Amino acid sequence: MKRFFEKDFVHVTASTTGEDAIINLRQKLYHVVILDINLPGVNGWEVLNYIKQNSPNSSVIIITSSEDPGIRQESIRRGAAECMGKPFGLDDLKHVLLDLLSRKRHQRKLKTYLVRFDDQRTGLVCNLSSTGIFVLTDKLIECGTTLHNIILEVNEGEVIPLKGEVVRAVESVEHTSPSLAYGWKLPEGLNYGLGIKLLEQPPVYSTLVNSLLF
């Protein structure tokens, strides 16, 4: 699951026990928590209670193998955003996850960033993480292409130089980028998407990513 979501540059932290989950939650804000009810040790209900008390801005997706329909009602009553029964496909979970991320982005009006490439093409960064960026562009760039001179425009007159490799090329981004849901108008001409794995990044980039997580 971790590898599946990181392909879209969603930053993921995996926990195998309820105790581990709480330790991670103490260290940073997670926009969405995917929580199994049947965790060993501290169970999912206890972790959910901790989240609602100590990290109320985190949305929670409950997953369970129980066929009891009352589990979903209880999950929502306790403050979860969604409840999914096992088994489910990772694409289904991705849809729910991106739906929640989209709503958060829309509600908080999270900022997007302009980006320029080697040949002066421009794009719009609509998702970034510690490992990569997802960019809307006017041209599709072939997977495997190394971009040596990526200029991320953070503020007027403030830029961050990056280097990266195109690892994903998307011909239609309308239904794949969480920034484009809930009424976000697709910028004219930016019909394609690029997933770029960052090969070089200065410390100021890490500072930017951390500022968006906390």
Q: How far apart are CA 72 and CA 36, in angstroms?
A: 13
Most confident residue range from 2-6, 70-74, 172-176, 185-189: 70-74
Give residue-wise pLDDT tens across range 52-87. Answer: 999 888 889 999 988 888 898 999 999 998 999 888
Residue with the larger pLDDT of the pair 62 and 127? 62
All structural domains of the chain, each given as residue ranges with its CATH number in brackets, are 2-108 (3.40.50.2300), 113-213 (2.40.10.220)
Q: How far apart are CA 152 and CA 154, in angstroms?
A: 6
- For residue 102, the model assigns a pLDDT of 63
Is the pLDDT reported for residue 50 higher than 80? yes
CB neighbour list of residue 179: distance below 8 Å, 6 or more residues apart:
102, 105, 110, 112, 126, 127
Is the pLDDT reported for residue 106 higher than 60? no
| Residue linked to tokens 């929502």 | 76
Residue range 4-22: average pLDDT? 79
- For residue 181, the model assigns a pLDDT of 42
